[in-house]
Amino acid sequence: MTDTTTRALRLGTRRSKLAMAQSGQIAEAVRELTGRPVELVEITTYGDTSREHLAQIGGTGVFVTALRDALLRDEVDFAVHSLKDLPTTQPEDLVLAAIPVREDPRDALIARDGLTFEQLADGARIGTGSPRRMAQLNAWARTLGKRIETVPIRGNIDTRIGFVENGELDAVVLAAAGLTRIGRIDEATQLLSPDVVLPAPGQGALAIECAAVNADLAAKLAELDDPDTRAAVTAERSLLAALEAGCSAPVGALADLQADEQAVTELHLRGVVGTTDGSTLVHLSTTGHAPASPDDVSTPQDLGRELAAEMLAKGAAGLMGERAL
């Protein structure tokens, strides 16, 4: 019989270059933490094989369901997800054991000739698979007095950057965190300020998940958790859940913990919902108390729900319906 305290831990991961890179980083951290070897188990998800745009297939859970099924069948011991891909409702038989320190949550522009967004010509074609990005990029272009064409694209990071390299598109917008994790962040021609483009809820953060029955492993993995990151993304995901919006909805959110000289005192949350053509945005923010302890999830959850209620009162619900991309 295999000694379960010394056998290799099986880490379930998607097969993409980005997923393998971020899972490899977590694997190394878990090796150092547990003293046990960790092997990557590659799993193909529906989102990896479908050629439909995410807005068409719903987005919610398409990259995580197969990984979660593998956990429940005991084919892997734990899984690593991009947190922004996780549905906001957590299954009772799975536990979100750790959310490590977050990478840069911003979006990044990769444009031809090293251009910034402001420098792109009128009518520039910008690729993104995200209705959230489309809404905010189109709105930003309007404030600059120009028109852009947002082009829906799929594919991995290399494929998306290739659209710019071959001249098919003038620019693409990707998550800065993903570019950093695969070593291509230097190719970004501009990091987009959250003041003009809010990221997806949870963007830049990773989620380490395991079966609830595997309590000892969950407790060990919890040592990789970063309380500040968890508080921020909890507020963002609470906003998303209260808006009853899925991963592919045109919703952006970003929470920041703010400190005085002694300690973290406040949690600031910004949210945006908009039509994909950028003609209408509901963009609001709020500030509340910081969580009283690392275990306090109710405070950031309440902040997210409060801001969602304000956004709904301003007409956010009517902006989340699908429009032609």
Residue-wise pLDDT tens digits, 63-105: 799 999 999 999 999 999 999 999 999 999 999 999 999 999 9
CATH number among 1.10.3720.10, 3.40.190.10, 2.60.120.380, 3.40.50.2300, domain 107-192? 3.40.190.10
What is the CATH code of the structural domain delimited by 9-100+205-225? 3.40.190.10
Mark whether 146 is an active-site residue: no
Give 261's contacts (C-beta < 8 A, 6+ positions apart): none
Q: Name the CATH superfamily for 231-316.
A: Porphobilinogen deaminase, C-terminal domain (3.30.160.40)
Phi, psi dihedral angles at 82 (to 5 degrees): -75, 125
| Residue 159 DSSP SS3 | helix
Catalytic residue selected from 14, 68, 77, 85 = 85
Mark whether 247 is an active-site residue: yes
Low-confidence ranges of the chain (pLDDT < 70): 1-5, 45-62, 246-248, 261, 321-325
Q: Where in the chain is the domain with CATH 3.30.160.40?
A: 231-316
Amino acid in the structure at residue 25 = Q
Phi, psi dihedral angles at 270 (to 5 degrees): -115, 145
Catalytic residue selected from 14, 102, 106, 160 = 160
Mark whether 133 is an active-site residue: yes
Mark whether 85 is an active-site residue: yes
| Residue 302 DSSP SS3 | helix
User: For 23-60, what is each residue's pLDDT tens digit?
Assistant: 999 999 999 999 999 999 999 865 545 455 444 444 45
3-state secondary structure 29-43: HHHHHHCCCEEEEEC
Q: Where in the chain is the domain with CATH 3.40.190.10?
A: 9-100+205-225, 107-192
The pLDDT score that the predictor gives to residue 115 is 98
Where do we find the tokens 């997806």?
A: 200
The pLDDT score that the predictor gives to residue 63 is 75
Catalytic residue selected from 84, 106, 184, 220 = 84
d(CA 251, CA 272): 6
Mark whether 48 is an active-site residue: no
